[in-house]
A = this chain, B = another copy of it.
Amino acid sequence: MPDYKVYYFNVKALGEPLRFLLSYGNLPFDDVRITREEWPALKPTMPMGQMPVLEVDGKKVHQSVAMSRYLANQVGLAGADDWENLMIDTVVDTVNDFRLKIAVVSYEPDDEIKEKKLVTLNNEVIPFYLEKLDDIARDNNGYLANSKLSWADIYFTAILDYLNYMTKSDLVANHPYLQRVVDNVTSIESIRSWIDKRPKTEI
């Protein structure tokens, strides 16, 4: 079995899909949490000076979605064929577009600009994406692709806390099919066990 290490800050956010996927597959991993003080010295050792980074038998890789897809293949959560993988990839990229649209407002440093952007985000962007994603989850019986569990469900559920944190809301509260996606993922024994034992962090 390969030796896995996840390098990230002491937050869930973009590192959590990796931790969920490794936990799902019962693959032991070193959950390395870097403090803000340690980061400047470590930054130059990371492929693009960013985290999360996954280390597989000493080889460091980056890009959270690419790493998640790789791990999904190791733990049996990829699609059965190219078309199923396309359905998974499409919804994961859509979830990520959604995340970026939230992040660009959440991290806006100018308060006046942020207020303006928040109006569009809350009145248009968030309802649009949630409705589309909820429709997809409805059409796929409580999953995000191919009417069965895949890494798309894991990815969405794992970053949901981060999306909720940025939007100061409970995004799935009024979206019953997305709630079913979350329930389907969090009721898996290995995921449940990870959630129970992981460090408690706000983000």
Check A94/B63 contact, CB under 8 A, given A69-B89, A70-B82, A70-B85. yes
Give residues in A with beta carbon < 8 Å to B.
47-48, 61-63, 65-67, 69-70, 73-74, 82-83, 85-87, 89-90, 92-94, 100, 104, 132
Q: State whether B48 touches A62 (Cβ < 8 A).
A: no
* Binding site secondary structure of chain A: helix
Question: Given that A70-B82, A82-B70, A82-B74 are contacting pairs, would A132 and B90 also be in contact in the complex, using a CB cutoff of 8 Å?
Answer: no
B74 touches A89 (CB 8 A): no
How many angstroms between the C-alpha atoms of A132 and B46 in the bound complex? 12
Q: Which of A48, A62, A87 has the largest count of B CB atoms less than 10 A from its CB? A: A48
Which residue of B66, B83, B86, B104 is within 8 Å of A89 (Cβ)? B66
Known: A86-B61, A86-B70, A89-B69. A94 touches B48 (CB 8 A): yes
